[in-house]
Chains A and B, each alone.
Chain A
Amino acid sequence: MSSISNLSGQFEKLVGSDRVHTSEAVLKGFAIAGCAPMAVLKPRAAEEVAEIACFAAAEKLAVLACGSRSKLELGMAPQRYDLALDMSGICQIAHYDPGDLTVSVDAGMPLKELSEALAEKNQFLPLAVPCSATSTVGGAIASGIDSTLRQQYGTSRDFLIGAEFVDGTGKQCKSGGRVVKNVTGYDLHKLLIGSLGTLGVITRLNFRTFPLPELRNAFVAAFPAMEAALNFHASLLKSGLPFSNLELFDPQFSALLAGYSNRTAVGVPKSLGTVGWHVFASFEGIAGVMERIQRELRERCNQAQAAHNETLDARNSPQWNDALRESFDWLRSAALNGALLRIVLPQWAPGDVVELHQVLNQSPLRLAFALRACNVAYLALQSEGEDAQTNAAMERYVSDVYSRAAAKKGSATLLHSPAWLKDRINVWGTKRIDFPLMQRVKQAFDPHNIFAPGRFVGGI
């Protein structure tokens, strides 16, 4: 590997001198766990990305593509990190065919801008992901972060119909297409979802879009006891009613949500003032469907003996949806010295939730918990101090969560944690049985191991 002074000239040849940044202040903004790259390059086109990747492969430089950098901390810190690609310069809508409900968009385009363009045609992308003020389309896909609309629209796997990307040999590749039904060739774009930039640099993504629903309403119910809330939540899941989101929060999560709502000037919804567990449901469609769902929810709520319930209409439900969409972001802020875990179990029994809470009795840690759609739970561990005893308790708790999830054939992932904890606990958990196959996929995409080495599952 050559030194930075030798390489700077080469970088300038690749993207132009105004698009190479080496000042400490800029580099710091791209650092992961204190490790900054030697340069930030801002390509203008996929062709430039390909040239950079070619160069990086020849020079054995490690490359990480970045969008808005809102979720850089996901995964392990990369083992090597030489170049950051600032993808925000590749940010156009390449094709939008409203009549076909398909859109093809550059990776660096902010999701917010894309949403605005789609809304003009009364359409949207059901990618309700956090950090929505800045998040790019490429980052949303590469991070694989959860969408709060998953219950109804599925994950991006269900509506990403094609992609263009640069592989580890510096070639521009593509898979899928721009039609909603297609089985031509290997579905390589599915592999890019949640790959954290370890397979290639995404340059363009093709999606199926959806018509904006006429109405989006919501409902929240408060319960003094966990058991009743869990039963209510489970009964809604079984009801067959078409919820777009369905979440269950513990009291601490509710308090944090209220705090966030207060800060963002939305105001604390009445129901959140009620101490206890909450079940939140959102749903969309025409007025007749809204009325029917609300009626059934109220009836079920009465049977379940909720302490309080509230229907949220077009005036206040968007704020709730936005606040919950951002929960990843405000949970990690609330757990700055603590940790944020994502836990998936094949099935959540009341006992599972009880156990996660009970372990914390007599511990210096506080816990905020939400059971989200599709058996995904978020668990924030708030730590008051950073003393050895607190840290030891946190490490014990987190390892315990990993073991419990594994024992129930589920999985746990650390979405946010202090660097010391990542040094002691692999955020991805123990290697899965299909790990050797993942290594083969990585080898095929990135034979020189230039893309974010070490960041992904099992040290890929």
Chain B
Amino acid sequence: MPARRGNYYSGNAATFCRRPLMDTALIRELKSLLGPANVLSQKEDLMLYEFDGSVEKARPEVVVFPLSTEHVSCIVKLAAKYQVPVVGRGAGTGLSGGALALGGGVMIVFARMNRVLEIDLENRRVVVQPGVVNLDITRAAEKADLYFAPDPSSQKSCTIGGNVAENSGGPHTLAYGLTVNHVAALELVLPDGEIVRVGSRHGDSPGYDLCGLFVGSEGTLALVTEITVKLSRKAEAVKTLLAIFDAVGDASCTVVEMTASGITPAACEMLDGWTLCAVEDYIHAGFPRDSAAVLLIEVEGVREAVESQAAAIGEICKLNHARDVRTARDDSERDLLWKGRRNAFGALGRLAPSNYVLDGVIPRSKLPEALEQIHAIGKKHGFQIGNVFHAGDGNLHPIVLYDPRDTEQFKRAIATAEEIIRMCVSLGGSLTGEHGVGMEKNELMPLLFSDADFDLMRRIHDVFNPDSSLNPGKIFPLSKGCGEIRVRKSGQAAGARP
């Protein structure tokens, strides 16, 4: 047993950098457990795993690919023996740095635990390993007209394990809820290697709602090794509307009025004019190039209700000066509109070397005000900010385009992001609607939570992950200590790009 190197997560960001390099004996043991093909430890290999979809980076010291729950348990035990931290990772599409190895150590990539273990169409349940890609769950069930409702924009590549860790959302969260609303049971590996199960297949068992706690805990309490998800039935009728506006304010007022009048579409997405042009250049979805904003609205359900809702939505759009309200005529038109929406971030990526996709939430009635403020904040920092977001539930995704090679510009991008998130909170909103806190917003947590809140969250953390060996440095502010709460200044992220 090697000498203890001290707690590698002492609440001080600098500690992460000081930990000595990994013991080669650990790597040897990992190779003998998993086979050399399932262990990466060369620098050039590890570099591929130092990024995710966020602007941060942090390099693991070894990357492993378990094939079974037992492997995960053994890996965690080995990591504990050598006192190195562990972080789980799916496809690495996360946007808050949740799957980055901030403490170095072992990164467990679940890509090879990607089997659909059981499909129970009768009871609408599918049991999967964490590495299964989100969309593949729907593909496994669609012949029975069933599907998995959470649909992050990255659903073609992101994994269900990552969705569970981050409690991911998507455009249809508006009507159907986040990942947590569609998970019935989990198999977990705790930091000491113990394998446990929480929840139940039918989703209703006496006791605390542990499933509700673990989903969205961002890999800080346990590693998820098996997930039982609930399937939803496809609606018998769907209508997809594209409402085109000459003023952003009119589009946002439409959303406010729609919400207040009690209409809940299945999805209600907004794309601003600047983003639309970029999308149109890339996807050719048929979005108008000369508009200020569009709303992509989808209504689903019983035929009669869909007709009536679509008509009511059309009325509200017109009352708010929509230039035109188009209805997708068939599935291919509908798919094209959604393709444009889902690839919007990619389209904007063609305009600048890098982009920073933010994730803030506001009360829906504050939408017009929030969009004006975002515009003003961007102007102040010298950025044109694109807005492609889930307008229906007040989940903003401002996108800041920047060049990471320009240190000064990167710092400004971070400052812009922080100001926007602070604005969301000041409007009565929250730090993140679906991307998670991770290492992106942990220093902003004191904007919402008090010392007492942190104490309790910390106690919950510590009863499961007492040594912070799992995903250290996430969710909790590192700068907070001895009762003093400080919010980290922009650009001080450990290992942040560039």
Contact = CB atoms under 8 A, between A and B. Distances in A.
B166 A183 contact: yes
B300 to A, nearest CB: 11
B178 A181 contact: yes
B201 A344 contact: no
Contact of A179 (B216, B302, B361, B463): B361
A344 B210 contact: no
Contacts of B204: 344, 374-376, 411
Interface string B445-459: 100111011011101
B375 interface: no
Contact of B449 (A185, A375, A445): A185
B437 A190 contact: no
B431 interface: yes
Interface string A186-209: 111011011100010000000000
Given A184-B431, A433-B197, A179 B206 contact: no
Contacts of A286: 304-305, 308
Given A191-B208, A346-B202, A185 B457 contact: yes
A167 B452 CA distance: 9
Contact of A444 (B365, B432, B456): B456
A99 B256 CA distance: 7
Interface string B170-195: 00011001101100000000000000
A152 B296 CA distance: 25
Interface in B238-265: 256, 259-264
A171 B452 contact: yes
Given A185-B445, A191-B209, A180 B393 contact: yes
Given A179-B361, A183-B433, A288 B304 contact: yes
Contacts of A179: 361-363, 393-394, 428-430, 433
B140 interface: no
Interface in B182-233: 196-210, 212-213, 215-217, 233
A210 B199 CA distance: 27
A194 B209 contact: yes
A241 B432 contact: no
Interface string A421-449: 00000001100111111101111110100
Interface string B246-289: 00000000001001111110000000000000000000000000
A195 B208 contact: yes
Interface in A333-368: 344-347
A300 interface: no
B301 interface: yes
Contact of A345 (B202, B236, B445): B202
A411 B456 contact: no
Given A167-B456, A242-B302, A180 B202 contact: no
Nearest to B207: A457
A173 B457 CA distance: 10
Contacts of A443: 459, 463
Contact of A158 (B181, B215, B450, B453): B181
Interface residues of B, number: 83
Nearest to B257: A99
A174 interface: yes
Contacts of A291: 304
B352 interface: no
A100 B365 contact: yes
B123 interface: yes
B61 interface: no
Contact of B302 (A289, A442, A447): A289
A100 B261 CA distance: 10
B85 interface: no
A321 interface: no
A445 B213 CA distance: 13
A135 interface: no
Contacts of A285: 302, 304-305
B433 A123 contact: no
B453 to A, nearest CB: 5
B436 interface: yes
A410 B206 CA distance: 10
Contact of A99 (B206, B259, B307): B259
B213 A191 contact: yes
Given A122-B262, A123-B262, A174-B453, A183 B167 contact: yes
A241 B305 CA distance: 12
Contacts of B262: 101, 122-123, 210-212
Interface in A239-274: 240-242
A188 B457 contact: yes
Nearest to B205: A411
A428 B181 contact: no
Nearest to B436: A183
A292 interface: yes
B476 to A, nearest CB: 9
Contact of B206 (A101, A183, A428): A428
B446 to A, nearest CB: 11
Given A184-B430, A410-B202, A97 B363 contact: yes
A454 interface: no
B212 A187 contact: yes
A453 interface: no
Residue of A100, A102, A182, A285 with highest tally of chain B CB at under 10 A = A182
B216 A186 contact: yes
A101 B210 CA distance: 27
Nearest to B204: A344
Contacts of B445: 184-185
A413 interface: yes
7 smallest beta-carbon distances between A and B, as pairs: A211-B262, A190-B212, A288-B304, A171-B452, A440-B463, A444-B459, A99-B365
Given A409-B201, A432-B205, 17 more contacts: A99-B365, A101-B364, A123-B262, A157-B181, A178-B428, A182-B361, A183-B436, A185-B449, A185-B457, A186-B457, A211-B263, A285-B302, A344-B205, A346-B202, A374-B204, A411-B205, A428-B206
10 contacts: A99-B256, A171-B455, A172-B450, A181-B394, A183-B436, A186-B461, A188-B457, A191-B208, A346-B202, A410-B202
Interface of B: 122-123, 166-167, 169, 173-174, 177-178, 180-181, 196-210, 212-213, 215-217, 233, 236, 256, 259-264, 301-305, 307-308, 361-365, 390, 393-395, 428-437, 441, 445, 448-450, 452-453, 455-457, 459-464, 475
